[in-house]
């Protein structure tokens, strides 16, 4: 957990620094790419701490964002609720997810 928190701190600092730099020059494609990467790193660090909702808010990739949203809803789903997935879709013995 401490490592994830350290990664969060580092990624958050990068996001803030790059966001500030982009305010001065919004057309710097390299900084935009670095910002998107930093946001993904921040989202991953948040997810490692179980903070899926926050991860989904900062993740720029729509597929990863959808994954974090699914994880968030799974965490808060009532245990008696049925999963919308097909039976065996999450079977660890077959390696499927």
DSSP 9-78: HHHHHHHHHHHHHHHH-TT-HHHHHHHHHHHHHHHHHHHHTT-HHHHHHH--SHHHHHHHHHHHHHHHS-
What is the predicted pLDDT for the residue at 1? Answer: 75
Tokens found for residue 74: 């799974």
What is the predicted pLDDT for the residue at 94? Answer: 47
What's the whole-model pTM score?
0.75
**Residues 6 or more apart whose Cβ sits within 8 Å of residue 23:** none
The pLDDT > 90 percentage for the chain reads 66
Mean pLDDT of 72-92: 72
Mean pLDDT of 47-59: 95
Whether 80 has a pLDDT exceeding 50, the answer reads yes
């Amino acid at each position: 957990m401490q490592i994830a928190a350290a990664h969060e701190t580092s990624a958050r600092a990068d996001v803030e620094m790059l966001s500030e730099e982009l305010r001065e020059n919004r057309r710097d494609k390299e900084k935009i790419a670095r910002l998107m990467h930093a946001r993904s790193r921040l989202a991953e660090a948040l997810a490692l701490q179980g903070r899926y909702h926050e991860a989904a808010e900062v993740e720029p990739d729509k597929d990863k964002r959808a994954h974090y949203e699914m994880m968030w809803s799974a965490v808060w789903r009532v245990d008696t609720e049925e999963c919308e997935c097909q039976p065996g879709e999450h079977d660890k013995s077959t390696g499927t997810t």
